[in-house]
Structure 1
Amino acid sequence: MTSTSTPGLARFNALEEHAARTALHEACAATAWAERLLAARPCATAEDLYAASDAAMAELTAEDLAEAMAGHPPIGRPEPGDPTSAREQRGMAGASDALKAEMLELNLAYQERFGHVFLICATGRTGEQMRDAVKERIGNSPEQEREIVRAELGKINRIRLARLVEALEEEDA
């Protein structure tokens, strides 16, 4: 991640508030997170943007986290027509039918236990790695799991912010 300002970051900083809010909402469904990032603009560097994201994530309440998680489809079932969730869950795309069925069962058991979807930064993970993670995490306490989810959301948000800045940079090209 860059330590200098880029044209994409400059463009993000200059976005009209509504456009910036919309772009941030696509990265994370938590309204409080987006509002904190809007208030942090302008960011001098991409690292400043990521640090603002991390700080905002650390301040989210349980309700804010629930709002953020509601924006994520279950692992193995990306939203139709959503290239972001399909790209992030690529590790499940080539999974066997047996693994997909197992993930469905594990997702349902996890959701029954915790009241929300199993959330993991799936980028770069195989279907087996995601299955193993849900199996490991289902035994956590709700408090432990909430903090793991917070950390996973933070990773996802950093990836999505980097993609947002890159996309804005490509608009200049």
Structure 2
Amino acid sequence: MTVESLNSLTKSEAFVQFEMCCGASNWVEKMSANRPFQNDDELFKKAESIWFSLSSEDWLEAFTHHPKIGDIDSLRKKSQNTKSWSEKEQLSIQGADEVILEDLAESNRLYKDKFGFIFIICATGKSAEEMFALLKERLKNDPEAELLTAAKEQNKITQLRLGNLLSL
């Protein structure tokens, strides 16, 4: 898909495409309303600008659209629209040692108990061990700092998914 073809979609078609990139309905609505985009660069910049203008409730909504890192069952249950992207993003998890998967599952539980949302990380290119180390490190954050860190990671994921969308 090109920016031009994205611009030419109906509102409901654009909504579906943007929702594949980020699950925050206000972000999706604003991205659709901000069309037409002049080029790829404007699309990516606008996506980031809109994302960081949203409320923490919007961020939390987006987080609910992600499978838990390292939880293959969670990955299977998420939206069919983004399942292949999520699987690709978490590719290193699929061959991970059972012990690291158990450690990730336990740390994910501790993380959710502490912060109230799942661990969000741009998993592309990271090993299961790297993600586990980052998860343990981020468990030390206070809730406000962690919410911002998770939002920054969500922005990275959204940017990658917009790139995927444009390469379809």
- Hey, what does 2:6 align to over in structure 1? 12
- Hey, what does 2:28 align to over in structure 1? 34
Shift of residue 9 of structure 1? 1.2
Which aligned runs of 4 or more in structure 1 are off by greater than 3 angstroms? none
Q: Quote the Cα distance in structure 1 between the aligned partners of 2:17 and 2:71.
A: 23
Task: Note the 1:46-61 alignment, pairs <5 A.
Answer: 46-61=40-55
Task: Note the 1:14-163 alignment, pairs <5 A.
Answer: 14-78=8-72, 79-80=75-76, 82-163=83-164
SS in 1 for 2:71: coil
SS in 2 for 1:29: coil
Deviation larger for 76-85 or 98-107: 76-85
SS in 1 for 2:167: helix
Q: Quote the Cα distance in structure 2 between the aligned partners of 1:49 and 1:105.
A: 38
Q: Quote the Cα distance in structure 2 between the aligned partners of 1:76 and 1:83.
A: 15
Q: TM-score, normalised by structure 2?
A: 0.93
Aligned residue identity for 1:14: S
Aligned residue identity for 1:155: K
Shift of residue 11 of structure 1? 0.5
Q: Quote the Cα distance in structure 1 between the aligned partners of 2:105 and 2:69.
A: 8
Segments of 5+ residues of structure 2 without an aligned counterpart are none
CA offsets, 1:72-96, max 9 Å, x none?
Answer: 0100124216212111111211110
Aligned residue identity for 1:72: H
Segments of 5+ residues of structure 1 without an aligned counterpart are 1-6, 168-173
Q: Quote the Cα distance in structure 1 between the aligned partners of 2:33 and 2:64.
A: 23
Q: TM-score, normalised by structure 1?
A: 0.90
Shift of residue 60 of structure 1? 1.4
Q: Quote the Cα distance in structure 2 between the aligned partners of 1:134 and 1:37.
A: 30
Count of aligned pairs between the two proteins: 161
SS in 1 for 2:67: coil
Aligned residue identity for 1:87: K
Quote the sequence identity (%): 32
SS in 2 for 1:131: helix
Aligned residue identity for 1:123: T
Q: Quote the Cα distance in structure 1 between the aligned partners of 2:125 and 2:54.
A: 26
Q: Quote the Cα distance in structure 2 between the aligned partners of 1:77 and 1:47.
A: 34
